Amino acid sequence: MALVAGELASVERRLEEVLRSREPRISEIANHLIAAGGKRVRPTVTLLAFRACGGETIADAVDVAVALELIHSASLLHDDIIDGNDMRRGRASARRKYGIPHTLVTGDFVFSRAFQICGRFDAKQINWAAEACIALTEGEVMQSRYRNNPEVTLDDYMEIIYRKTASLFEQGARIAASLARPNPPELVDALASCARHVGLTFQIVDDVLDITAEQAELGKPIGLDVREGNPSLPIVLAAAQDPEVARLFAKEDLTEGEVSAVLGRIRRSNVVDEGRRIAIEHSRLAHEALAPLPESEYCDSLHALIEELINRVC
Ligand code: FPP
Ligand code: MG
């Protein structure tokens, strides 16, 4: 992170600039979410991908990183409405604080700002950004299709998280790497592949932490996926091997006792270990994708970022 600290500071300044609106309420709502922090993993991966490909005109990479964070933030504003979430990043969600109508429109504003920034890229790069946004919407709807549905398979799960999380990492890195015009040009695909596996690892780790973490660490209540009937990795794996988890997963509006029962059964089973194993496998693929890159401190930093992700659950 320290290697791109200057660029990340530029991302924060740019975010603040583009969140200004003629309607102060819009800026307030957008800042409520975006200034509350977040790990900025997407901008960091984007900036490192650009640098690892030898990119020098840093304003380009900062723009991609900002656009990505805006798209991600817009999707969270909408997601909190869809899921009815009360908390996000350790504070009241925008939905709870400002209500649905203004939160919805602020999501649209933030999303529009992202494409205002993407507008200066080539048609091919704008198309990659649009593909990620399309995948996000399809991931959200696919996930809801499998909500409270014990028929969900591991393949379904992997497709959901590719769409809802990894696609944005992948396309962000692809755009940033292509802006760097690396030689050979195939390095663009290498970075996209690395970022896709980073995104998959990131989501799997997030799902495991929903079962194993403490609330303070997550900034939101633990067991939320169980409560919401989300097809998260531990739930998908546990439902396939434990009929009682499958029965409770199929049931909406679980009581507190039922939530605890599901969490207990999952924690006592082997699925948390299995989840860690799958996360480690994707982190290995992320490392491996970087093999064609020339050695650099930026490439080292990408390797370190992948290790940090995995260390959260291992
Ligand atoms: C959070 O996941 C949600 C997403 C990663 C994607 C949400 C996508 C949409 C609402 C479609 C709208 C798309 C655009 C482009 C504006 P989660 O619910 O698993 O995580 P959480 O526990 O943090 O809520
Ligand atoms: Mg959600």
pLDDT, tens digit, 9 for 90 and up, residues 256-291: 999 999 999 999 999 999 999 999 999 999 999 999
Q: What is the pLDDT of residues 160-184, one digit of tens each?
A: 999 999 999 999 999 999 999 999 9
Q: Which domain holds residue 255?
A: 2-311
SS3 state at 91:
strand
Residue 77 Cβ contacting ligand 1 at under 6 Å? no
Residue 74 Cβ contacting ligand 1 at under 6 Å? yes
Question: Which pLDDT band, with edges at 50, 70 and 90, does 314 fall under?
Answer: confident
Cα-to-centroid distance, 296 and ligand 1 (Å): 34
Cα-to-centroid distance, 132 and ligand 2 (Å): 18
pTM over 0.85: yes
Q: What is the pLDDT of residues 105-143, one digit of tens each?
A: 999 999 999 999 999 999 999 999 999 999 999 999 999
Give the count of domains, the chain: 1
Cα-to-centroid distance, 85 and ligand 1 (Å): 11
Joined together, the tokens standing for residue 81 give: 């409405």
Cα-to-centroid distance, 63 and ligand 1 (Å): 22
Cα-to-centroid distance, 90 and ligand 2 (Å): 14
Which ligand has its closest atom nearest to the C-alpha of 209? 1
The candidate with the shortest Cα–Cα distance to 63, out of 106, 122, 133, 23, is 122
> What pLDDT score does 148 carry?
98
User: Of the residues 39, 79, 146, 165, which should be mutated to test ligand 1's pocket, given the most ligand atoms within 8 Å of the CB?
Assistant: 79
SS3 state at 88:
strand
Percentage with pLDDT > 70 across the chain: 99
Distance of CA 41 to the CA centre of its chain: 8
For residue 82, which atom of ligand 1 is closest to its CA?
10
The candidate with the shortest Cα–Cα distance to 312, out of 205, 232, 223, is 205
Q: What is the pLDDT of residues 48-83, one digit of tens each?
A: 999 999 999 999 999 999 999 999 999 999 999 999
Q: What is the pLDDT of residues 286-311, one digit of tens each?
A: 999 999 999 999 999 999 999 999 99
> What pLDDT score does 214 carry?
78
Above 90 in pLDDT, residue 221?
A: no
Q: What is the CATH number of the domain that holds 54?
A: 1.10.600.10
